[in-house]
Amino acid sequence: MLTLYWSPQTRAARVVWMLEELGEPYQLRHVDIRNPNASRSDEFLQASPMGKVPALVDGEAKLSESAAICLYLADRYSNAKLAPAPDDSSRAPYLYWMFFVPSVMEPAFAEKFGQTTPNRQAHGWGDFDSMINVLRCGVAKGRWLLGERFTAADVLVGSTAYFLRTLDAMPADTAIDAYVDRCLERPAYQRAIQNDSDEVNRRDLGSS
Ligand SMILES: N[C@@H](CCC(=O)N[C@@H](CS)C(=O)NCC(=O)O)C(=O)O
């Protein structure tokens, strides 16, 4: 059984969506990240040396970083067809979007809302407005980032865009709004969002 180290209302929600899309059985292990003095299990820290959620344990495989986890799961559980095969040319845009979230979306967002000075040429993520423009073009091409095919890249990009929307940090944009709405229509995403709020209310899971 897959184990996801998780905390409510965090980036772990992305991986819950991914797991729901896969349809593989999994269990959540709560990590009390809001209490720095709470103990952390050895297994959690082996999977997540930074002590952050999400972290995944799948037998001998242990890893953290939400993008790495989604890449791992899509390849490891390939029956769900959430990743193009290495010899498929659409693997190239797939990888681009998988890396776009941690390499561009996240730092551009942190820069803008941390009110630090943008430097489009020097910073690897460009700046927030450039990031939004690239995202707008990417989601305007088809139903999903790779056209008709939904992949793990949509889990990462869609959940991050939705997160920005919930913070009122996403500029109004017809194409991005419609894309996020399409993501929200997916039953797996609805289950993941529901689970997150159920667990917020219950808080009865085992701790790390
Ligand atoms: N780059 C990481 C970021 C993970 C992250 O920052 N997680 C936050 C919650 S959203 C966390 O665990 N914070 C607690 C801490 O740093 O102690 C990823 O994408 O998984």
Q: Distance from the CA of 142 to the center of ligand 1, in angstroms?
A: 31
What's phi and psi for 168, nearest 5 deg? 60, 30
* Tens of each residue's pLDDT in the chain, 208 residues: 999 999 999 999 999 999 999 999 999 999 999 998 999 999 999 999 999 999 999 999 999 999 999 999 999 999 999 999 999 999 999 999 999 999 999 999 999 989 889 999 999 999 999 999 999 999 999 999 999 999 999 999 999 999 999 999 999 999 999 999 999 999 999 999 998 888 766 654 444 4
Q: Distance from the CA of 150 to the center of ligand 1, in angstroms?
A: 26
Ligand 1: nearest atom to the Cα of 33: 14
Q: For residue 83, what are its two tokens?
A: 């990743």
What's phi and psi for 57, nearest 5 deg? -120, 125
Considering only CA atoms, which residue is closest to atom 11 of ligand 1?
52
Q: Distance from the CA of 122 to the center of ligand 1, in angstroms?
A: 25
Measured CA to CA, the distance from residue 198 to residue 85 in angstroms comes to 35
| Strand, coil or helix: 142 | coil
DSSP assignment string, 49-64? TT--S-EEEETTEEEE
- What is the model's pLDDT at position 203? 53
Q: Distance from the CA of 11 to the center of ligand 1, in angstroms?
A: 7
* Backbone Cα Rg of the chain: 17
Lining ligand 1 with CB less than 6 A are 10-11, 33, 51-54, 65-66, 102
Considering only CA atoms, which residue is closest to atom 3 of ligand 1?
65
Q: What is the DSSP letter of 84?
A: -
Q: What is the DSSP letter of 104?
A: I
> Which amino acid type is present at position 53?
V
What's the N-to-C CA distance of the chain in angstroms?
17
Q: What is the DSSP letter of 4?
A: E
Measured CA to CA, the distance from residue 79 to residue 22 in angstroms comes to 8
pTM for this structure?
0.95
